[in-house]
Amino acid sequence: MPFTLMQVGNTLKSVNTDGGLSSALTLPSGVILATNLQPRFARFKRYIVLVNTPSRALSIDVDGVVRPLTPNPPSTAVALSAGAAGTLSGSYLSLQTYKILDTAGNTIAESDYGPAMTAYVSVASQKLHAAYAVSPDAAVSGTQLYRTTTLGAVYFPWTLVSDNTTTSVENDISDAALGLIPGPELGTAPDLTLIAEFGGRLWGVTRDDVDSLRYTSAGTMYGWAALNTLLIPHVGSDGAGISALIPRRAALGVSRRNTFSQVTGSQRTNIQPVIVNGGENVGCVSQESVVVFRDIAYFLSQDGVYQWDSNGITCISDGRVRTWFTTDETFNRSMFWRAFSEFDPIAKKYRLFLASKGSAVTDRWVEYDIMNGTWWGPHETSAFTPSSAFLVAGRNQQLYPMIGSREGYLSQDQEFKNDWGLLPIDFDVKTRDTEGDDPEQTKYHGELSVFHQVQESGDLTVTPSLGPVDELVEQDPFTSDMTRGRRRLGRIGVGESMALRFQNDVVNEDVVLGGFVIDPVDNAGRR
């Protein structure tokens, strides 16, 4: 069953199908959440994995149970000795791990191996007795013991003790009965700052090695073997290192701020990074700006929004909105690293939240319509200051977008045309100054007709301006009744240039302006 998880201050809470918050989830003993860092989440099977803010990487299941991503390993070696009479003869070594098990006995997580024994222990027609320490971690619910065959060097699963209270076990399981599959590669989850799921593994970047990509053993979220480490091209090119992980179906995007690579492969021998076509001098500046829809990734770079698909990387903001991202006239580019995004699955829009010019907080957002390639915005609300954006699964399992606020509220998109029920949304559009062929020629601007989509109610204020170029003076406004599709408003007047301003600021009144006609426009003489 889908569920949504979010960090609220120094607590974790889930979001229900109606957008309501649960009470704080119980964290493992000793784990705290940082409030000055960005929480990073990844989904792995029926679990959500959280890194960067917790003092220890966590997993959370659909019931809201929070556990360490991997238990800490045993601190002491197994003590083997000869036990009661039995059928086993030979010399053996043993290793111990701790396990977190579900109610059916399935493994949720397994620790790294504890210390190795220093010498073989021999038995002759006896059982092999193992003494070991239990875990201080309350999440641990079992001990797994591994054993060699006689004088062997490979460890095989030996016996599972499904509790965290028993401190010894003995049996005379034969070497042949251990099977042919050795114990798995294991490892403790490191201090991760980035996390993603791709190809049945978790992938991450550690706080103390920002140039390397770490990954788990296949099929697990807990086996972080040290050998599963991959250097990403342009090592040391900047202090930020790897800035984003972007999973698509066939490849994992691994971005620095100035380079974009993709990682493919299914095992350690063929997992390799390759720089993506168009990925030189382009990189993602904020992990939270990433959205993947229909196997196309969208992300914010230093000079605009880019998409990554099977053809490589291309900029989708070049053109009319390029200056949004290449100048400081609209947004504070020094705050790009704090940008965050969400995908609106209803309107099919990539929604990007940014800090406005001169602002140190995220207070604006823009939207890219994926279906027709158009940009909309910048948008602003007076109801709250956005702090996060995410998708929630509704009662019908259909996803819908929500926005978190610095004021501590969650907000849903709404159909009504108002600023979250508090204020009207201002419709304020001004046309370009019209000069005709000769800016010095005085012109007579005749009757103005306005076309708009018929609404149930509402008026549109239309204010003409007349005069020389850059010296236009506003004239008396007209009122256009939006319950009718076309309104003839009257004559505008005489002037070298003319512009029109359309305004409406009434709660829940929609405006769809179709166009306007001025008839006639005649030369009236030279200034």
State whether 431 and 490 are in the same domain.
Answer: yes
Contact of 401 with 351, CB cutoff 8 Å = yes
Pairing of strands 66-68, 58-61: antiparallel
**Would you place residue 415 in the very low, low, confident or very high pLDDT band (cuts 50, 70, 90)?**
low
Q: Which residue has the higher pLDDT, 487 or 398?
A: 487
State whether 521 and 439 are in the same domain.
Answer: yes
Mean pLDDT in residue range 459-464: 94
| pTM of the predicted model as reported, rounded to 2 decimal places | 0.85
Domain final residue pick, 178, 204, 229: 178
State whether 461 and 408 are in the same domain.
Answer: no
393 in a domain, yes or no? yes
> How many other CB atoms are found less than 10 A from the CB of residue 341?
23
Give the domain extent around 95. 79-178
Mean pLDDT in residue range 272-287: 93
pLDDT in tens, 148-181: 999 999 999 999 999 999 999 999 999 999 999 9
Domain final residue pick, 178, 211, 233: 178
Find the angle CA(97)-CA(173)-CA(81) to the nearest 5 degrees: 65
350 in a domain, yes or no? yes
pLDDT in tens, 72-112: 999 999 999 999 999 999 999 999 999 999 999 999 999 99
Domain final residue pick, 413, 443, 472: 413
Residues near 235 by beta carbon (within 8 Å), at least 6 away in sequence: 211
State whether 432 and 403 are in the same domain.
Answer: no
Token reading at 437: 């062929």
Q: How far apart are CA 346 and CA 18, in angstroms?
A: 16
State whether 107 and 161 are in the same domain.
Answer: yes
Q: Residue 527 above 60 pLDDT?
A: no
Residue 410 confidence (pLDDT): 83
State whether 519 and 450 are in the same domain.
Answer: yes
Residue 408 confidence (pLDDT): 81
206 in a domain, yes or no? no
State whether 407 and 445 are in the same domain.
Answer: no
Residue 509 confidence (pLDDT): 80
Residue 435 confidence (pLDDT): 60
**C-alpha distances out from residue 377 to 316, 420, 449, Å:** 15, 17, 27
Total number of domains constituting the chain: 3
18 in a domain, yes or no? no
Residue 505 confidence (pLDDT): 85
**Would you place residue 394 in the very low, low, confident or very high pLDDT band (cuts 50, 70, 90)?**
confident
pLDDT in tens, 1-43: 567 899 999 999 998 888 888 899 999 999 999 999 999 999 9
Helix, coil or strand: residue 120: coil
361 in a domain, yes or no? yes
State whether 144 and 170 are in the same domain.
Answer: yes
356 in a domain, yes or no? yes
Q: How far apart are CA 333 and CA 407, in angstroms?
A: 24
Contact of 251 with 263, CB cutoff 8 Å = yes
Token reading at 39: 């929480």
468 in a domain, yes or no? yes
Residues near 16 by beta carbon (within 8 Å), at least 6 away in sequence: 22
377 in a domain, yes or no? yes
Residue 522 confidence (pLDDT): 85
**Would you place residue 526 in the very low, low, confident or very high pLDDT band (cuts 50, 70, 90)?**
low
Question: What's the first-to-final CA gap in the chain, in angstroms?
Answer: 74
pLDDT in tens, 285-331: 999 999 999 999 999 999 999 999 999 999 999 998 999 999 999 99
Beta bridge partners of 229: 214
